Amino acid sequence: MHTGKLVFAQVMEFAPWHTFRRIVAKHKGDFNTRTFSCLDQFLCMAFAQLTYRESLRDLEACLRAQPTKLYHLGIQGNVSRSALADANESRDWRIYCEFAQALIRIARRLYINDSIGIDLSRTVYALDSTTIDLCLALFPWARFRKGKAAVKLHTLLDVRGGIPSFIHVSDGKYHDVNALDLVIPEAGAFYLMDRAYFDLQSLYRFQQAGSFFITRTKSNTKLRRLYSRPADRTTGIICDQTVEFVWFYSEKDYPQHLRRIRFRDPEGRSLTFLTNNFELSALTICDLYRLRWQVELFFKWIKQHLRIKRFFGNSQNAVKTQVWIAVSTYLLVAIIRKRLNLDISLYSLLQIVSVMPFENVPLIQLFEQPDMVQLFDPTANQLNLF
């Protein structure tokens, strides 16, 4: 019989707690705290993410149903709805933001050798944002439109492993192009962006840093063709051109030449890409831009499987705290999958952990049970109801 730690405690063992304690001390998170520390807050909120709790009252009821096991989960404080609410309102969200950044560094090292389907050794990032609708009466600080509130998650995703390397949480009125100024360009890396990030001054900053970008042109973009390269139309490439900007201010903001590629997909849609990379083939550039869809899949995954569409607090600090702990939970699941060398999806791993947090079973044994993996396989055939 296994006499070790509970499943939830084994999951939390993969987190660098020495780093967490250092960050808490840096921001004085436990100052004047007696019974409910930052660690207790993180564990409770991570438990809510892993087990799909819908509210603080729901979380309190679930944890208090197993009072003798809370210590073995790592929770030493007195769990109550008021203590959790006060912690989410008052504890600095930057504690959990910096802790998530530490987990990002660990996860990216683990997934650095994963294939992206293209023979390219350089790092590829996909930049996009997603909007989470809120009630204006409850979240007045997040005003989006008349009678509506929202928050935006601006995310820079490393497509090699699907690990977010940068996340910025803002109100709904914060334009996507402003988030581009917060990204620090990495020399030699590729950045995939849609039309919302078409800002010439920001793109020229990437050019000067030695980075490459692939974006789409807007309808009012005026470009002058300088010369063309041979294009194989059987692959869908219509043209491959070197261009420059026509208008004075556009040429002033981006004084160098760019590469314009027009591509027709199998459905007949014509797409125009702009990039500052002149080395890769035109078809490779188009294939790289297809990888931008991974950031959309990331948004879909966290919205469906983590608690970020329904918040446990109304303040800006509470919302950011919940978002960053949700990101940390996603990263922990990704780290476990790689370190245990599991051949199952993140969805299956999360589902198994969600129903067995209080079980006293070795973690690796839990995922090696073929019947259990088959039970949570989303691709398995649907059982007959009758």
Q: In the chain, how many domains are there? A: 2
Question: What is the model's pLDDT at position 145?
Answer: 84
Q: What is the pLDDT of residues 162-203, one digit of tens each?
A: 899 989 999 889 988 999 989 999 999 999 999 889 889 999
| pLDDT class of 58 with cuts at 50, 70, 90 | very high
Mark whether 246 and 322 lie in a shared domain.
no
Mark whether 201 and 287 lie in a shared domain.
yes
Mark whether 31 and 80 lie in a shared domain.
yes
Is 364 a domain residue? yes
| pLDDT class of 347 with cuts at 50, 70, 90 | confident
Is 60 a domain residue? yes
Q: Flag whether pLDDT at 383 surpasses 50.
A: no
Mark whether 277 and 198 lie in a shared domain.
yes
Is 146 a domain residue? no
Question: What is the model's pLDDT at position 378?
Answer: 47
Question: What is the model's pLDDT at position 377?
Answer: 46
Is 114 a domain residue? no
Q: Which of 43-47, 175-179, 280-284, 342-346 has the lowest mean pLDDT?
A: 342-346
CATH code, 266:
3.30.1370
Reported pTM: 0.87
Is 49 a domain residue? yes
Is 147 a domain residue? no
Mark whether 286 and 320 lie in a shared domain.
no
Mark whether 263 and 339 lie in a shared domain.
no
**Domain housing 62:** 7-96+313-375
Mark whether 283 and 325 lie in a shared domain.
no
Mark whether 287 and 327 lie in a shared domain.
no
Compute the distance between CA of residue 242 and CA of residue 223 in angstroms, rounded to an integer: 10
Is 136 a domain residue? no
Mark whether 342 and 283 lie in a shared domain.
no
| pLDDT class of 345 with cuts at 50, 70, 90 | confident
Compute the distance between CA of residue 210 and CA of residue 193 in angstroms, rounded to an integer: 17
| pLDDT class of 119 with cuts at 50, 70, 90 | confident
Mark whether 44 and 14 lie in a shared domain.
yes
Mark whether 214 and 274 lie in a shared domain.
yes
Mark whether 274 and 215 lie in a shared domain.
yes
Is 67 a domain residue? yes
- Higher pLDDT: 322 or 383? It is 322
